[in-house]
Structure 1
Amino acid sequence: MSTSSESDNCSSSKSENDTDDASEVLVASIVTLIAMDHSEKYLGKRKRPPPRQSGYQWVMDQLQVNKDCYNMFRMNRHVFARLHETLVENYGLKCTRVMSSVEALGMFLWMCGGPQSFITVENIFKRSTETISRKFSEVLESVNLLAGDIIKPKDLQFRTVHPRLQDDRFSPHFNNCIGAIDGTHVRVVVPANEMIPHIGRHGYPTQNVMAVCDFDMRFTFVVAGWPGSAHDSRIFNDTLCRYSDAFPHPPEGKYYLVDSGYPNKKGFLAPYRGQRYHLPEFQGGQRPSGLKEVFNHAHSSLRNVIERSFGVLKMKWRVLLHMPSFPVEKQKKIIIACMALHNFIRDSALSDELFQMCDEDEEYMPEVDSSEEEEEEVHNSGPSSDDVDMCAFRDFIANSLMADRG
């Protein structure tokens, strides 16, 4: 009995020890698993990537450095601030829950200056295509309202002779000149059924935009929307009838300079046809000779202000070289908006790289794509449409210029 009892006690003790050992192993395994899980979650976890920069932050970063602001928004930061204030106070630009007015304006200017694709804009501004399109349209409407007030002469009576005309080469012969008129082609995207009338001499669809500018390189009148196949003279004649009340007509005795694609009529002075005219034709030491060439050279030297204005416009707002696929009417508004921005920058009286190069060199011509170069439409007008009195006036100036040459 005693032997059996001692044996049972030993067996019971051994069983308890085995149970304790198993429990310790189980606890150790659980602790190890917990430690591994903790290590995986917290100690060895990869660092989260920093949050992506918002569109507003990107705009504000560009505004910190004037060079960055100019490169991205095509104007220095003081002009940006003034433009933003003007659009908010007078032309309905507003902040919304979705986007601030500063971000919306920065996005609009960046898209027009690039141009930028919607995919690129989405990537930078972290906005949906719908939001980008809606905010772009809102700023576009505000800038077009600004255009109505800023694309016009500063003085409708043109009482001051511009300093450019006071140069000995032009004074007093051109003292009553008030600006220049010409057309420029802007590449556009149109539906297939509208393609043919929009394809002109360039071989791709364009709008033919007629503009008037003064000698400060400010646009004072613009008509956009005509298909590229429309001739300059047709647009000109239609404008004088259709927009007679809005067109800045020259006062009695004053006149605009036009090229030979326009009629030489009262208020609009054209060069002699069939003679050298454009400035490159006189380069290489080939001075103008004869009464008509002398007049044409002086005329071209002044009239190129409109060509240089178009050059600055397209160099600064490159959306005009590669228009996105917007509705035709919206493309027209973009053209007008870019011209309004052009004037706003010029009127700011602050230094601007492109304008400064033109101010420092009166023959400087901003270079755009070679495919965008304008050609004179000499076939659009003829002597039959010229005014006899204006032709006599042109002869008078030509004789005066010859007399000054001795």
Structure 2
Amino acid sequence: MSSCSDTKESSGDIADGGTDTKDDDDDFIVLYLALQCIDGGSGMNNPRTIPPETGIQWVERQLQDSDDCYDMFRMRRTVFRCLHETLVNDYGLTSSKEVCSKEALGMFLWMCGAPQYVRQAKNKFHQSKETISRKFGEVLQSINRMTTDIIKPKDSQFTIVHAKLLEDRFWPHFKDCIGAIDGSHIPVIVPLFEQPKYFGRHGYASQNIMAVCDFDTRFTFVVSGWPRSVHDTQILMDTLVTYKDQFPRAPEDMLSKYYLVDSGYPNRKGFLAPYKGQRYHVSEWQHGRYSHQPTGSKEMFNYAHSSLRNVIERSFGVLKMKWHILLNMPKYSVKKQSKIIIAMMALHNFIRDSAIHDADFENYSNEDSVEDSQSSMNNSSVLRDDSDMGAFRNSIAIALM
């Protein structure tokens, strides 16, 4: 009886979680696996998990390799370091407890180049969304402060004749040309009730920006924020009034100076347009059904004019190739989107002024590297051409023959 009673008691102990050997082994295995999950394991075949790379560590690692730096930040290492120093010393870029200024700049450039959004930056830099948004805004503000000092002519008096104009095919006919003007459409995110004025025939909302550039593919002036539906000429005319003190024009004693414009603009004093109804764009001579050589004085003029004015198309080409955020804008306010566009132009000039080899600029160095936009050519100018500027254009056309 005693033995039977002990057996039953023992069985009861087993059912209630007693000290059976098999269960002891199971408990040990469960405990071992739990510890492995907690600390990542300490055995030879399960090395301890390495802490994730911090944002500044990732930025510094990219800066150690020239190609990686260019791919991630869209500029060479020397340019990155110079830009960082310039923004810190002259334009108020500061570090904070969470993010140093170098990490903030690297994050901004990485987000603008790809583009990448806040959620991707959170994963890459291990910062909160609030911190990333705030730092993005701080870097943007710092670069926007720099724009007034860098988006302007190098020679504000326009006394120097650019080397491009000294080429035989342009000299002396275009000796007084000081740059080119054109508009470009940048995708924009706008509220539903505003979309009609921002939509065009391409089926997406965009804003129409007007830019001026020199023959070094540098932007010297820009106006952004106009809806796509506004005509190029209207933007130019408004600019000459609203920003008359900022628009880069030649001094009063050099009134013969002018910008090249396409036929979407009027042929007026200070703005030389091509002949309408004639072949104009470079691609029309390269791929058209007709002779590859221009014929007649008007085509000769248009060919030379297009070859020079193409610099604005190439400038826009580099800008959009380098900063893909301009092709796929995040959902910021329209005002902030405009600030981003201008900031990218400032970075464009900063890289160009560094005189360091840049692959994107090299790809657009030739006149035939892009096809001119023909949208403006199909629009009728809202202002009549000036007769004096028409006579001036005729004189150049005859001289070219």
User: Would the aligned equivalents of 1:165 and 1:175 in 2 still touch at CA under 8 Å?
Assistant: yes
Q: Percent identity?
A: 57
Q: Match for residue 399 of structure 2?
A: 400
Which residues of structure 1 form unaligned runs of 5+?
1-25, 368-372
Task: Select which of 304, 311, 322 maps to 1:298.
Answer: 304
State the distance in 1 between where 2:374 and 2:133 align: 32
Task: Select which of 267, 270, 275 maps to 1:267.
Answer: 270
Matches within 5 A, 1:42-81: 46-81=46-81
Other structure's SS at 1:212 match: strand
- CA deviations over 1:321-355 (Å, ceiling 9, x no partner): 00011111100000000000000000001110111
- CA deviations over 1:30-88 (Å, ceiling 9, x no partner): x9999989976588765432111111111111111010000010000000000000000
Q: Match for residue 165 of structure 2?
A: 165
CA shift for structure 1 position 356: 2.1
Question: Residue 134 in 1 paired to residue 140 in 2?
Answer: no
Matches within 5 A, 1:2-401: 41=35, 46-250=46-250, 251-284=254-287, 285-359=291-365, 361-365=366-370, 375-381=375-381, 385-401=384-400
Change beyond 3 A, Cα 1:262–1:48: same
Change beyond 3 A, Cα 1:281–1:32: closer
Matching residue's letter, 1:227? P
State the distance in 2 between where 1:313 and 1:75 align: 12
Other structure's SS at 2:316 match: helix
Change beyond 3 A, Cα 1:227–1:36: closer
Matching residue's letter, 1:133? S
Matching residue's letter, 1:60? E
TM score, norm. by length of structure 1: 0.86
- CA deviations over 1:163-209 (Å, ceiling 9, x no partner): 11111111110011010000000001001111111112322110100
State the distance in 2 between where 1:44 and 1:117 align: 37
State the distance in 2 between where 1:137 and 1:218 align: 25
Query: Bigger radius of gyration, 1 or 2?
Result: 1
User: Would the aligned equivalents of 1:259 and 1:271 in 2 still touch at CA under 8 Å?
Assistant: yes
User: Would the aligned equivalents of 1:231 and 1:380 in 2 still touch at CA under 8 Å?
Assistant: no
Number of residues paired by the alignment?
368
State the distance in 1 between where 2:183 and 2:189 align: 19
Matching residue's letter, 2:272? L
Matching residue's letter, 2:195? M
User: Would the aligned equivalents of 1:110 and 1:116 in 2 still touch at CA under 8 Å?
Assistant: yes
Matching residue's letter, 2:320? K
Other structure's SS at 2:376 match: coil
User: Would the aligned equivalents of 1:260 and 1:270 in 2 still touch at CA under 8 Å?
Assistant: yes
Change beyond 3 A, Cα 1:278–1:110: same
State the distance in 2 between where 1:152 and 1:248 align: 7
User: Would the aligned equivalents of 1:232 and 1:377 in 2 still touch at CA under 8 Å?
Assistant: no
Matching residue's letter, 2:309? R
CA shift for structure 1 position 386: 1.0
User: Would the aligned equivalents of 1:185 and 1:374 in 2 still touch at CA under 8 Å?
Assistant: no
Matching residue's letter, 2:106? G
User: Would the aligned equivalents of 2:310 and 2:367 in 1 still touch at CA under 8 Å?
Assistant: no
User: Would the aligned equivalents of 1:357 and 1:364 in 2 still touch at CA under 8 Å?
Assistant: yes
RMSD: 2.3
Change beyond 3 A, Cα 1:38–1:197: closer
State which drifts further: 32-41 or 220-229: 32-41
User: Would the aligned equivalents of 1:180 and 1:305 in 2 still touch at CA under 8 Å?
Assistant: yes
CA shift for structure 1 position 358: 3.1
TM score, norm. by length of structure 2: 0.87
Which residues of structure 2 form unaligned runs of 5+?
1-18
State the distance in 1 between where 2:311 and 2:101 align: 34
Change beyond 3 A, Cα 1:35–1:283: closer
Q: Match for residue 10 of structure 2?
A: none
User: Would the aligned equivalents of 1:256 and 1:268 in 2 still touch at CA under 8 Å?
Assistant: yes
State the distance in 2 between where 1:165 and 1:247 align: 22
Matching residue's letter, 2:230? A
